[in-house]
Every structure is written in C-alpha cells, then in structure tokens.
Amino acid sequence: MSVVKFLELSAQSPQGYEDAIKQAVERASSTLRGIQSVWVKEFEAVVENDKVTQFRVNVKISFLLEGAGAG
C-alpha cells in the first residue's frame, strides 16, 4: 500500500526560480526520502531599496510515506 504525503515549503535564491526550487528540494531531502514530485504554487520576488534581491517560490513536494509518522 503506497501512500504519498504532501508538504509545502518556501525557498528563495538571488539567482532565479530554478535555483530556489533546487534549495527547497535539497532541504526536504535532508530529512525525507522518496521525493516524488514538485509543483510550484507561487512565484514572488523580494525587493530591497527598489532592487530585486531574491526570487522566491512556494512549492508543494510529494514523498513516499514509509514508516515515518503521517502527522
């Protein structure tokens, strides 16, 4: 019985959206195994002193539930 869980993270990068997504996946995979897929839900940009300093994404990540708690 394969059950998949979803979690939502937000990450940012000064380089661009692709790099921000990689950071979110890197952080998730530091404690989770079996990452299945990533949907990008939101795209933002952080502005400081009228300059874009960060490209930020909200991503929904799915991973295969093993023994870990479903909570």
What is the rounded distance in angstroms from the CA atom of residue 43 to the CA atom of residue 65?
28
Residue numbers of the site for a second copy (CB under 8 A)? 1-12, 16-18, 21-33, 35-40, 42-47, 50-52, 55, 58-59, 62-63, 65, 68-71
CA nearest neighbour of 35 among 5, 12, 71, 70: 5
Phi, psi of 70 (to 5 degrees): -85, -5
